[in-house]
Amino acid sequence: MVEIKDKTFVPFLERDKIQERVNELGKEISKDYAGKQPVILGILNGAFMFLSDLAKQITISSELSFIKISSYSGESSTGKVSQMIGLETNLINRHVIVVEDIVDTGLSMKHLVELIKEKNPASLAVATLLHKPEAIKHPIKLDYVGFNIPNKFVVGYGLDYDGLGRNLPEIYQLKT
Ligand code: 5GP
Ligand code: MG
Ligand code: MG
């Protein structure tokens, strides 16, 4: 068990299980992108640990890039506008693989996919370590999913609770 601030978390996915699945995803991506030089675009901060492990399992030479997303209540019809911070790689005609920690309602990823498509990539795929199918409100195509998980809050392996817990090498679930 792990205590973070006012919450208690219980073990959910252990290191070996995560590593095994990440290895599989790396193999799959290497096979799918054989002969290509994809741009792997990690979404900070949450995806840093997943991306680090995944990248080591991708055997084709790839470009790595990182972006941050800022969300704020704007005046768009959705009430939420995302912006990419730190995108320095030209994505025109590149094969882009977005790497995210978790897709929950799908809203962030939906916005991100729209923003990336505006950059005219040759192709766009989404890899997420975790996905909560029961929480999805904005369906998007997920090309590589590590684990489908129940609709409960998780921390560790890059994921935070109020800024804490990203360093944990395994994934914990909120105790209920
Ligand atoms: P979405 O836009 O898909 O609803 O949520 C996306 C973001 O919410 C994720 O990138 C992540 O930062 C955060 N999030 C969603 N579910 C969880 C969770 O169970 N644990 C943590 N730590 N963050 C989550
Ligand atoms: Mg994230
Ligand atoms: Mg967070």
For the stretch 19-32, pLDDT in tens is: 999 999 999 999 99
Q: Is the ipTM of this complex over 0.95?
A: yes
| Nearest-angstrom CA–CA distance, 118 and 24 | 30
| Nearest-angstrom CA–CA distance, 82 and 89 | 18
Among protein residues, the one with the nearest Cα to ligand 1's atom 12 is 46
pLDDT one-digit tens code per residue, 42-58:
999 999 999 999 999 99
Q: Where are the domains of the chain?
A: 14-149
Cis previous bond, 151, omega within 30? no
Query: From the CB of residue 102, how many other CB atoms can be counted at a distance below 10 Å?
Result: 22
User: How would you classify the pairing of strands 63-72 and 2-4?
Assistant: unpaired
Q: Which bound ligand lies closest to the C-alpha atom of 130? A: 1
Residue 38: band (very low, low, confident or very high) from pLDDT cuts 50, 70, 90: very high
Question: What CATH fold (topology level) applies to the domain 14-149?
Answer: Rossmann fold (3.40.50)
Work out whether the CA dihedral 170, 163, 159, 1 comes out positive or negative.
Answer: positive
User: Exactly one of 16, 32, 53, 104 is catalytic; which is it?
Assistant: 104
CA of 8 to the centre of ligand 1 (A): 18
In the chain, the N- to C-terminal Cα span, in Å, equals: 13
| Nearest-angstrom CA–CA distance, 129 and 159 | 11
Q: Which atom of ligand 1 is nearest to the CA of 104?
A: 3
CA of 162 to the centre of ligand 3 (A): 7
Residue 71 has pLDDT above 80, yes or no: no
Verify whether residue 101 is a known catalytic residue. no
**Are residues 63 and 39 in contact, defined by beta-carbon separation less than 8 angstroms?**
yes
CA of 35 to the centre of ligand 1 (A): 33
Rg of the chain taking only CA atoms, in angstroms: 16
Task: Determine phi and psi for 17, rounding to 5 degrees.
Answer: -70, -40
